[in-house]
Amino acid sequence: MDLTNKFLIEAEKYPEFDEALEIVNNNSNGNVWLIGGFIYRNIVASLYGIEKPIIDLDFIVEDPIDKFDLPKNWIVSKNRFGNPKLINEIENKSIDLVPLDNIYSMLYNNLEPTIGNYLKGVPLTIQSMVYDVKNKQIIGDIGIKSIKNKLVEVNDLHFGQYAASKKGKSLSQYIIGMAKTLNFNYKLPDKI
């Protein structure tokens, strides 16, 4: 099952995706990874026929630049974590940039800023995948397994509870809700 190809076929249907890749590549050095629901929801839509995702483009950047060079109508703001958020208010578009060395789970656990450590610290198994922009490849064995098994579980208990609380939900509600939106099964942790 080639998940990269499934993802790219779906992602390329969104002109915002190519635009975001160009903007992010022009405003960062080093590696860039697309993260979040835009990846797994497009793959699940392709494989299992769920509804197409809303466009939510979040990128981890290895080395963000200090001064942004943005197309017309784009401005730099900050997201709720203090990271750059690129906004085009006229067309109602946004792109979140997360510096690799400013990811909460790695800072909290005092871990080296690597994409592998990011994947270990995401709340749910389905979220444990990225699209490596440079190599044009989906990576993240745990997330890939989650899609193949159609199963949502906790990936990191602490950050699962943290993410659930940020959404005003219990961890069980968060897991079940995610599984429902994907039409997947779920497994709750033994200890909550």
Please say whether the beta carbons of 101 and 4 come within 8 A.
no
171 occurs within a structural domain: no
73 occurs within a structural domain: yes
158 occurs within a structural domain: no
143 occurs within a structural domain: yes
Which of 186, 31, 15, 42 has the alpha carbon at shortest distance from 116? 31
- Between the alpha carbon of residue 83 and those of residues 42, 46, 94, 99, 131, the distances in Å are 25, 31, 13, 7, 20
184 occurs within a structural domain: no
59 occurs within a structural domain: yes
- 89-145 residue pLDDT tens: 888 899 999 999 999 899 999 999 999 999 999 999 999 999 999 999 999 999 999
Give the global pTM.
Answer: 0.93
57 occurs within a structural domain: yes
Listed in order, strand segments (DSSP E) in the chain are 28-35, 57-64, 75-78, 84-88, 93-99, 130-132, 137-139, 151-152, 185-186
Q: Is the pLDDT of residue 192 over 80?
A: no
Considering its fold, how many domains does the chain have in total? 1
Domain containing 46 — which CATH number? 3.30.460.10
Which pLDDT does position 53 carry in this prediction? 74
Enclosing domain of residue 70: 3-148
Per-residue confidence band for 4, with pLDDT thresholds at 50, 70 and 90: very high
d(CA 182, CA 40): 9
164 occurs within a structural domain: no
